[in-house]
Amino acid sequence: MSLTVEERKLLAVEWCHQGKNKLEQVIVHVGCMSLKDSQELARHAAEIGADGISVISPSFFKPATADALRMFLQEVAAAAPAMPFYYYHIPAVTGVNLRSRDVLEGIENQIPSFQGLKFSGSDLMDFGQCVSYSPSHWSLLYGIDEQLLGAMAMGANGAVGSTYNYLGRSVNRLMSAFDKGDLPKARTIQFQVQDILCYAIKLGFDLAVNKQLMSEVSGLALGPPRLPLLPCPHPKALSIAQRLQQILGEQ
């Protein structure tokens, strides 16, 4: 959301290019404060061969009802009607606390291309109601990394999370263990993820820290965050990276 429309287009092109024959799918986020900008990005995603688009709610002028949000999503989806469409629910960031289950009500009639939900909220009752309502061909993706196992028990069939940039292998093992019915192993891995994040939160964990941690663990120079986020002090990221290695090295 800190990027210009043109920057987002450039990134989408590069992800689609680099992901070809490597990633199962590239879903481009096209949500904006402006409906027109979202529609422009949706059309662009279709033109460059993305596999789907997702949209968060506008968060400055917020929709007052689920109907209003559904109408916004419908207008974006209509700009690229052949593209699989996902609603991205992240109330801690948008401040839009509408129940996702209410947003999903009848959405397949308004958006025929609707394919699922990324649920980045902690309300597992709301998420469970979304799973209960959803047809089998929808994808229900969970986005609170420290609670993934609980969401999988509710019926999540995938996960999208920022910490998976450096915890992805561990979380794949968690999901595999759950699918095989090995709940003790899945629980152990989830507790390890929670231990890492609890340690990071005590030091002060935000998006800038998360980005610096990605650089620290991957060895890739990802650059600083944009204002108003402030750069993370290197010692803090290094301390979290060391804690991560200590915990996951015990597996």
Phi, psi of 225, rounded to the nearest 5 degrees: -75, 165
> 86, 87, 88, 142: which one is catalytic?
88
Backbone angles phi, psi at 142, to 5 degrees: -105, 145
How many whole angstroms separate alpha carbon 28 and alpha carbon 14? Answer: 11
- Rounded to the nearest 5 degrees, what angle is found at the Cα of 176, between the Cα atoms of 170 and 181? 130
Choice among 9, 118, 211, 236 that is catalytic: 118
- Residue linked to tokens 């917020």: 62
The b/e string for 220-231 (b: 16+ C-beta within 10 A; e otherwise) is eeeeebeeeeee
What contacts 17, CB < 8 A, 6 or more positions away? none
Give the separation between CA 83 and CA 16, rounded to whole angstroms.
14
Residues whose CB falls within 8 Å of the CB of residue 104, separated by 6 or more in sequence, listed in order: 87, 117, 130, 133, 134
Annotation says 88 is catalytic: yes
Determine how β-strand 85-89 pairs with β-strand 158-159.
unpaired
Helix (H/G/I), strand (E/B), else coil: 32 = coil
H-run or E-run covering 116: strand 114-119
CA-to-CA distance for 187 and 184, rounded, in angstroms?
Answer: 5
**Amino acid occupying residue 116:** G
The residues carrying an active-site annotation are 88, 118
